[in-house]
């Protein structure tokens, strides 16, 4: 600012007056403004109070298109798709796990695991086409730390056509209750122009089956007849019909075969599971009813004489059916009835000389949403259980008393579960020879429940030789409060839970330490310091020699693209 001094005294006097009046006006105006408006500090405080508080940082998983249709494809086509994901929240997003509903037909590639706010990533998937036929729709669950949608569902669909149509593509005789042969057939249809040739590998015919192949339409259609061969023994028998064709994309065809022979006297369910309930205020007792079915599959009549329980709170009523061969037993109990931790037992008395009594355990399991963990059972007696293997053998906790038992709870149709299955199968022979009893228990994961024939097919593919139990309703997981799969539970010779191992990390090392300790009659040690002592030393930050090439001529290279095109560095000389 420049100040001009006035030379004339009169002018100076008049000017001073004008300045004085103007200054006084400014002071009054400012004073009036200060009185009519709040102080700046007070106004700022009021603005802060009126502003909404910033939201808590939350990640948010967004999928560009959660559904993809491959359209119509053929069995030998490569089906790959990449789902694009992003984090539209204001906190880091963690992709915790991806669970295919069909682990046998869907493979998850290397996917993004952490996305910063605003970041994007991918989930690559591949369909195994020889596990698909006709129209299909397969889902996957993406589990993340998104608090609004912790589980996001992706869907892959389409139609897969086979050069050789197979209808049906597996044969299940389900339950055979007599000693008569059973017959089914499979039709093979040529969906191509060239004539079809099919031969049967008779040497691969599984025990218990008889196979016969006939050509019903030359070059176009074949029929495979499958018959079961009595006499039958209790349990299951299964295998594959193996055929060879002249179609390279379907050179070998394997058709699963399955049959089940139930016990002569069958009781279902094998056990009664009651979920824990929180304490309720005292109210007039209301009765609830469970039903046990007693079925006689044998030739001779068997009478169910009576049913008793080791708890007076359980009322039992035996009802014969119209055919005088089968019975139902009504089990009445007060609503909210809770058996003790060791459970209760219902005993069925018959007039059969071979099986005068049959038992049905009544057990308590943690309610859904309960915070109880399987680790809380360590040091306690394991809940009683009764399992039936895929070979028809019954395994009771009482029969396993005095043995070290490894219960491997795994979903066989899940990639992680299959990896643990392979790991345990590798360790099993060495420890089984020392008396340790391994039991693989299939547990359902996700929406897809696999039936026993499909399970048997998976076991053949994985070459599993250990004992396997099919538990599609996850009853064993409920008994041991297991909510995460795969999980390995170790029972000691005294019947107590000795260890619970959730997940696959370091399992081979951990399991060997635990089993060796129990074999030596020593307590299982705390694994944390042992793992820390055996942890591999941290690797130094790897060098990046490629960075040393910056500013230097590129080395010569020649590569081939997926479509067979040759590319070398000379092609980019002018770029």
- Residue 132: how many CB atoms within 10 A of its CB? 23
For 270-277, what is the mean pLDDT? 80
For 363-387, what is the mean pLDDT? 77
> How far apart are alpha carbons 40 and 225 in whole angstroms?
94
Per the CB < 8 A criterion, the answer to whether 211 and 205 are in contact is yes
Domain boundary pick from 346, 364, 382: 364
* Residue 242's pLDDT band (cuts 50, 70, 90): very high
> How far apart are alpha carbons 572 and 318 in whole angstroms?
86
pLDDT in tens, 185-217: 999 999 999 999 999 999 999 889 999 999 999
Pairing of strands 405-410, 467-471: unpaired
- Residue 105: how many CB atoms within 10 A of its CB? 21
pLDDT in tens, 71-93: 999 988 889 999 999 999 999 99
Prior bond of 465 cis (ω within 30°):
no
pLDDT in tens, 460-480: 777 788 888 888 778 888 888
Co-location of 359 and 376 in the same domain: no
Q: What are 48's two structure tokens?
A: 């802060």
Co-location of 206 and 92 in the same domain: no
> How far apart are alpha carbons 68 and 43 in whole angstroms?
55
Co-location of 428 and 316 in the same domain: no
Q: Which domain holds residue 301?
A: 286-364
**Is the per-residue pLDDT at 352 higher than 90?**
yes
Percentage of the chain beyond pLDDT 90 is: 39
Q: Which of 455, 369, 370, 367 is nearest to 411 (CA)?
A: 455
Pairing of strands 344-350, 67-74: unpaired
**Is the per-residue pLDDT at 104 higher than 70?**
no
CATH of the domain at 315: 2.60.40.10
pLDDT in tens, 26-68: 433 334 343 344 444 444 444 444 545 446 899 999 999 999 9
Q: Indicate the number of domains in the chain.
A: 4
Q: What are 423's two structure tokens?
A: 């790991």
Residue 227 lies in a domain: yes
Co-location of 326 and 377 in the same domain: no
Q: Residues near 367 by Cβ (< 8 Å), separated by ≥ 6? A: 275, 276, 277
> How far apart are alpha carbons 29 and 20 in whole angstroms?
14
Q: What angle do CA 270, 271, 272 make, to 5 degrees?
A: 140
Co-location of 380 and 483 in the same domain: yes
Higher pLDDT, 28 or 136: 136
Domain boundary pick from 124, 139, 161: 161
Co-location of 338 and 394 in the same domain: no
Q: Which residue has the tokens 């046998």?
A: 104
* Residue 542's pLDDT band (cuts 50, 70, 90): very low
For 553-566, what is the mean pLDDT? 60
* Residue 401's pLDDT band (cuts 50, 70, 90): confident
Co-location of 184 and 317 in the same domain: no
Per the CB < 8 A criterion, the answer to whether 268 and 148 are in contact is no
């Amino acid at each position: 600012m420049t100040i001009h001094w006035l030379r004339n005294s009169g002018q100076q006097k008049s000017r001073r007056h004008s300045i004085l009046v103007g200054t006084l006006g400014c002071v009054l105006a400012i004073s009036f403004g200060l009185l009519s408006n709040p102080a700046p500090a007070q106004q700022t405080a009021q603005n802060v109070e009126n502003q909404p508080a910033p939201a808590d940082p939350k990640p948010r998983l967004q999928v560009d298109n959660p559904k993809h249709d491959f359209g119509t494809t053929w069995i030998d086509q490569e089906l790959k798709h990449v789902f694009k994901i992003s984090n539209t929240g204001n906190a880091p997003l963690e992709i915790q796990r991806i669970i295919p509903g069909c682990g046998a037909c869907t493979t998850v590639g290397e996917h993004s695991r952490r996305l910063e706010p605003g970041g994007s990533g991918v989930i690559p998937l591949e369909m195994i086409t020889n596990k698909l036929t006709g129209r299909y729709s397969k889902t996957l669950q993406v589990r993340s730390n998104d608090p609004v949608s912790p589980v996001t569902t992706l869907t892959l669909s389409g139609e897969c056509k086979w050069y050789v149509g197979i209808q049906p593509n597996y044969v299940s005789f389900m339950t055979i209750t007599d000693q008569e042969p059973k017959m089914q057939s499979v039709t093979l249809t040529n969906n191509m122009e060239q004539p079809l040739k099919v031969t049967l590998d008779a040497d691969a015919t599984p025990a218990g089956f008889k196979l016969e192949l006939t050509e019903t339409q030359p070059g176009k259609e074949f029929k495979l007849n499958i018959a079961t061969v009595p006499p039958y023994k209790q349990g299951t028998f299964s295998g594959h019909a193996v055929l060879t064709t002249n179609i390279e994309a379907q050179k070998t065809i394997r058709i699963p075969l399955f049959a089940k022979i139930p016990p002569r006297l069958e009781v279902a369910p094998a056990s009664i599971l009651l979920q824990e309930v929180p304490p309720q205020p005292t109210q007039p007792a209301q009765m609830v009813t469970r039903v046990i079915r007693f079925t006689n599959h044998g030739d001779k009549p068997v009478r169910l004489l009576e049913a008793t329980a080791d708890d007076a709170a359980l009322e039992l009523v035996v009802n014969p059916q119209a055919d005088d061969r089968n019975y139902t037993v009504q089990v009445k109990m007060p609503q909210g009835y809770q058996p003790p931790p060791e459970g209760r037992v219902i005993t069925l008395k018959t007039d059969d000389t071979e099986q005068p009594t049959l038992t049905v355990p009544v057990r308590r399991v943690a309610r859904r949403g309960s915070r109880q963990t399987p680790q809380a059972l360590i040091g306690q007696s394991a809940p009683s259980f009764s399992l039936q293997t895929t070979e028809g053998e019954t395994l009771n906790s009482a029969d396993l008393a005095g043995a070290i038992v490894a219960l491997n709870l795994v979903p066989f149709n899940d990639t992680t579960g299959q990896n643990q299955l392979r790991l345990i199968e590798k360790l099993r022979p060495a420890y089984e020879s020392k008396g340790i009893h391994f039991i693989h228990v299939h547990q359902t994961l996700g929406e897809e429940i696999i039936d026993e024939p499909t399970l048997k097919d998976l076991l053949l593919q994985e070459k599993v030789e250990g004992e396997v139990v099919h538990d599609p309703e996850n009853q064993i997981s409920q008994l041991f409060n297991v909510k995460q799969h795969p999980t390995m539970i170790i029972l000691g010779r005294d019947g107590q839970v000795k260890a619970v191992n959730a997940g696959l990390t370091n399992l081979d090392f951990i399991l060997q330490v635990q089993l060796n300790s129990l074999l030596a009659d020593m307590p299982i040690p705390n694994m944390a310091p042992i793992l820390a002592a055996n942890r591999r030393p941290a690797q130094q930050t790897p060098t990046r020699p490629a960075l040393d090439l910056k500013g230097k001529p590129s080395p010569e290279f020649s590569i081939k693209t997926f479509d067979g095109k040759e590319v070398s560095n000379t092609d980019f000389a002018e770029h």
